[in-house]
Structure 1
């Protein structure tokens, strides 16, 4: 007894149509994932740049403690 896969029971045109549908679904999923990744990257970059700008605008805190006194700060 041999088992047949679902693709073996289909005509060539039907297999081609299913392959095209599957490919188009995969490409759409790839595009949406890519756009989501791009949006997330842009958002994180903007947050990082804003944080770095605010850190550059504030003067550094003076060092405290035993090591700072030893170095004369």
Structure 2
């Protein structure tokens, strides 16, 4: 379990930051009329934000397999 958190800490941080930013976006910018499918509901916006946060933070995470593959290509 400890290894899992060490390996995926950046992705989990992305989920948490994304969900927080999603809620903040809903609170300050969200749709007042209720006709916007994503931004009118705080839960949907938090899920959308968590997904975007995960994908964004995943760009900066490095895996050993990826490093090994890049080294093989360069050689």
Q: Normalising by structure 2, what TM-score?
A: 0.34
- Greater RCO (Cα-Cα under 8 Å, separation 6 or more): 2
Q: Normalising by structure 1, what TM-score?
A: 0.35
Larger Rg: 1
